[in-house]
């Protein structure tokens, strides 16, 4: 395990699933260190213990539940873990809590994977597969419309009137809209929410964790969130 005086270590790469967690850590004002993970390269020490699925993000909390080391993988589980640890960004009452949980899981099971597949077939697949581009594209557009309607209903944030971990989960996947060939002009409530969330200082700090995308890709190194480059 990586030696540091910090309790929280995040195995991280600058991707939408990674940003969900750095945004959350910044919103909660929790000090953490970023253990860079270069996608497609030999994983760093301790990574597969924290993340048996072999994907980032994964969190190690040296002072976890009951005071012992806790590892958490899957970005939505990490957000929930941090929300419960700090008592922030998830409503304490059951109605509000389930609103947050539904939208958090909706993001993890729908918006994220469908956006990922659409991005892959649209931008990266060596072979152009029109059926796959159409299938995943249609589903991403449907999901954007679902989120737009929800935001029009709440008039504020994803799960209701309060900013929550559900917003932190959705935001990085809406950030990819241009790469997905979408315009937010088609989704007015989503567009307004996106501008509001993007302007949050903690969101900006979360997006530049580890020194930002360029630094992380060219010379990834262990980074302490208390020391900003």
Ligand X SMILES: N[C@@H](CCC(=O)N[C@@H](CS)C(=O)NCC(=O)O)C(=O)O
Dist CA 56 CA 81 (whole Å): 16
Which part of the chain contacts ligand X (CB under 6 A), choosing from 50-58, 126-134, 152-160, 171-179?
50-58
Instruction: Give least dist CB 58 to ligand X, A.
Output: 8
CB count within 10 Å of CB 174 equals 24
Is the CA virtual torsion 78, 24, 168, 122 positive or negative?
negative
Residue 70 sits at φ, ψ, to 5 deg, of: -125, 130
* The one among 8, 9, 10, 17 contacting ligand X by CB under 6 A: 17
* The one among 1, 2, 39, 195 contacting ligand X by CB under 6 A: 39
* The one among 55, 141, 205, 217 contacting ligand X by CB under 6 A: 55
Cβ 16 vs Cβ 180: under 8 Å: no
Which part of the chain contacts ligand X (CB under 6 A), choosing from 55-63, 84-92, 123-131, 190-198?
55-63
Q: Is 182 near ligand X (CB under 6 A)?
A: no
Instruction: Give least dist CB 12 to ligand X, A.
Output: 10
Q: Is 225 near ligand X (CB under 6 A)?
A: no
- With both helix axes pointing from N to C terminus, report the angle between 94-106 and 75-86 in degrees, rounded to the nearest 10: 160
Dist CA 134 CA 102 (whole Å): 27
Query: Judged by CB, which is closer to ligand X: 40, or 92?
Result: 40
Q: How far is CA 170 from the centre of its chain?
A: 7
* The one among 24, 28, 56, 168 contacting ligand X by CB under 6 A: 56
Q: Is the peptide bond before 57 cis (omega within 30 degrees of 0)?
A: yes
Q: Is 74 near ligand X (CB under 6 A)?
A: yes
Q: Is 150 near ligand X (CB under 6 A)?
A: no
Q: Is 111 near ligand X (CB under 6 A)?
A: no
Total binding residues toward ligand X, as defined by CB under 6 A: 11
Edge-first strand order for the sheet with 223-224 is 70-73, 58-61, 8-12, 33-36, 223-224
* The one among 108, 151, 158, 216 contacting ligand X by CB under 6 A: 108
In the complex, the residues that contact ligand X under the rule CB under 6 A are 15, 17, 39-40, 55-57, 74-75, 108, 112
């Amino acid at each position: 395990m990586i030696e540091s005086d910090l309790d929280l270590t995040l195995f991280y790469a600058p991707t939408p699933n990674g940003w969900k967690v750095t945004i959350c850590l910044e919103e909660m004002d929790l000090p953490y260190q970023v253990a860079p993970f270069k996608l497609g390269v030999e994983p760093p020490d301790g990574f597969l213990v924290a993340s048996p699925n072999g994907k980032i993000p994964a969190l190690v909390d040296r002072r976890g539940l009951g005071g012992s080391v806790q590892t958490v993988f899957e970005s939505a589980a990490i957000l929930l873990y941090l929300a419960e640890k700090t008592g922030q960004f998830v409503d304490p009452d059951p109605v509000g809590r389930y609103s947050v949980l539904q939208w958090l899981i909706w993001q993890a099971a729908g918006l994220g994977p469908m956006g990922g597949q659409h991005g892959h077939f649209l931008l990266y697949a060596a072979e152009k597969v029109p059926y796959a581009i159409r299938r995943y594209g249609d589903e991403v557009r449907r999901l954007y419309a679902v989120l737009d309607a929800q935001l029009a209903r709440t008039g504020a944030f994803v799960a209701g009137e309060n900013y929550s971990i559900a917003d932190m989960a959705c935001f990085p996947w809406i950030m990819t809209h241009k790469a997905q060939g979408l315009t937010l002009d088609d989704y007015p409530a989503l567009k307004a929410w996106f501008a509001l969330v993007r302007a949050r200082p903690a969101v900006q700090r979360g997006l530049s964790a580890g020194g930002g995308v360029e630094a992380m890709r060219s010379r990834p190194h262990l980074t302490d969130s208390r020391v900003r480059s």
